[in-house]
Structure 1
Amino acid sequence: MQMRRTGAVFAVAALALGVAACGGNKTYASLSEKLKDSNEVTVGTKWDQPSLGLKQGDAPVGFDVDVAKAVLTEINGGKEPKITWKESASSNREAFLANGTVDIIFATYSITDARKPKVTFGGPYVIAHQDVMVRKDDTSITKPQDLANKRICKAAGSNSYKRITEPPPDGQLGLSTAKTVDAANYSECVQKLSGSNLDAVTTDDLILAGFAKQAGGNFKILGQPFTDEKYGIGLKKGDKTTCEAVNVAVKKLWDNGTMKQLLDKWFGGTEGLKLSETAPPAEGCS
């Protein structure tokens, strides 16, 4: 009798699972499989970084947005997918991938050893370099080493400040006397710099270039890069199938000139900025 009741429970459970699968909660082994089946994808980008990912109307615009469209179209067999855009700040990128809020992230997402255990990275698709931005009339900071005893921004979820304040291997300059000022994101960092609540903003040169361009000449970039920041394409940990497809797409976009066109479109002519000319080598999917 007990065995018959147990079998009945298992049968009901199996039926419930089948209904759930047919009811729209379908899961996929990879993003590539999802694209093939549904032609839909949710993409995480920044919404507050001019020239990279800045929300205008209902969707963001910028370099990362254009790269996302191009890469996803390539891995979708040349068919542009239906994209839902989701703001992904530095502080929530890993969580959004892990819990399925987004399928893939293009958001100035530097590939680091600390992030690799949580994220499978495609790319990099471009290499940025950490630099320093100051107010146009500031003559006291002419090189990164001048940030000793200065106020620099500490944006939530970003490790750029560590490159200044800590020695190798985690940092670069070891300027422990630099004072960090907290901010929710880099747009707030720039606001604080405008209001003289900071002496400098230091992060990737592409991020700085976008803000400098938006500010119309109120800021200057020192043009003295001191790190390589490999911008990766974030995928849920273990999605090697999509990662490999992404790497093929990135190489093709460099080979056919699309990446150079997009870099020139969004960053061309920025003083102190040297743009990448060649495709960075892929990291390998792990």
Structure 2
Amino acid sequence: MKLRKVSAAAATALVLALTATACGGDNGDDNGSDTGSGSGGGDKIKIGIKYDQPGLGLKEPDGTFSGFDVDVATYVAKELGYDPKQIEFVETKSADRENALDRGDVKFIAATYSINDERAKLVDFAGPYLLAHQDLLIKADSDISKGTDLNGKKLCSVTGSTSAQNVKESIAPKAQLKEYGTYSECIAGLQSGAVDAVTTDDSILAGFASQANYKGQFKLAGLKLSNENYGIGVKKGDTATVDKINKALEKMVSDGAWETAVKENFGPAGYKNEPAPKIGDIVK
């Protein structure tokens, strides 16, 4: 076999081409940038979730993640071109969600992130992908049966959440508001008697109530105190990503993956979910 001689000019062109190809594979954006073509578009994608919400976003003892938000985020990432192995889930607490997107810490956030006018000034939203309702989690033998029963009671929610403020401003102005860093702390407070009720979305509360170590201790009050339209938060101005995520969510509903995720994550708690909302349909 004869080998061809390569001229210096040809060799230089080859080196330049290889260099350009290598540079093209690194976009310098470590939160992940997708092409929407199924090719990945980056080495990894960082997605904000909760770590302490059973049934929605939970970091398991073995380091894996479970929950409805995790399933939605994984499905969306796949449609953006990312394999599950390319996903890096980042804990994103309620009080830091807007900042995390603004700093570029994550590409998007799927973390029980209710769409409202104030948040929409700071971030863009895809979805909604779930309609939940604010409720109360109380002890199984509690006599709290309506919102006004919270007057004079200790009410817990997490810092940065709108749930407790909604109750205090509109339903029970004499409630004693306790704000903790996580819902896990609120639930522990409810168990110990440090607080009388925990308020947030019924989907979150149902997840906690169904845990083995809490089984039979708590109950949902069954109050629909508000409508919570869960959206996927994206950095303000990134409309291209919003459009791609919306298409992914529509596909998740149409191919049955959304319904499967609901049953697998909420079924054990007997949670009665609303039908899948239409993109852009915000229930007030």
Q: Please confirm whether the aligned pair reaches a TM-score higher than 0.5, indicating the same fold.
A: yes
CA contact (8 A) 1:63 1:266 kept: yes
* CA pair 23-260 structure 1, distance change in 2 beyond 3 A: closer
Q: Deviations over 1:66-88 (max 9, x none)?
A: 11111111232x85561011111
* 1:142 Cα deviation from its structure 2 partner: 1.2
* Aligned counterparts, 1:204-219, within 5 A: 204-214=201-211, 215-219=214-218
CA contact (8 A) 1:59 1:85 kept: no
* Aligned counterparts, 1:1-286, within 5 A: 26-27=28-29, 31-33=33-35, 36-56=40-60, 57-76=62-81, 80=84, 82-138=86-142, 140-167=143-170, 173=171, 175-214=172-211, 215-271=214-270, 273-282=271-280
* 1:129 Cα deviation from its structure 2 partner: 0.5
For residues 146 and 26 of structure 1, the distance between their equivalents in structure 2, rounded to whole angstroms, comes to 54
Q: Structure 1: which amino acid aligns with 2:99?
A: A
Q: Structure 2: which amino acid aligns with 1:281?
A: I
For residues 130 and 249 of structure 1, the distance between their equivalents in structure 2, rounded to whole angstroms, comes to 27
* 1:48 Cα deviation from its structure 2 partner: 0.7
For residues 267 and 157 of structure 1, the distance between their equivalents in structure 2, rounded to whole angstroms, comes to 25
Give 5+ residue unaligned stretches, structure 2. Answer: 1-22
**Which range moves more in the overlay, 180-189 or 57-66?**
57-66
Report the aligned-residue RMSD.
2.5
**Which range moves more in the overlay, 198-207 or 34-43?**
34-43
* 1:24 Cα deviation from its structure 2 partner: 5.5
CA contact (8 A) 1:41 1:84 kept: yes
CA contact (8 A) 2:134 2:202 kept: yes
CA contact (8 A) 1:151 1:178 kept: yes
Paired-residue identity, %: 38
Per the alignment, in what secondary structure is the counterpart of residue 65 of structure 2? strand
CA contact (8 A) 2:33 2:42 kept: no
Q: Structure 2: which amino acid aligns with 1:160?
A: S
For residues 252 and 25 of structure 1, the distance between their equivalents in structure 2, rounded to whole angstroms, comes to 28
For residues 44 and 200 of structure 2, the distance between their equivalents in structure 1, rounded to whole angstroms, comes to 33
CA contact (8 A) 2:49 2:109 kept: yes
Q: Deviations over 1:182-214 (max 9, x none)?
A: 211111100100000011001100100010001
Give 5+ residue unaligned stretches, structure 1. Answer: 1-20, 168-172
Give the aligned length. Answer: 256
**Which range moves more in the overlay, 50-59 or 188-197?**
50-59
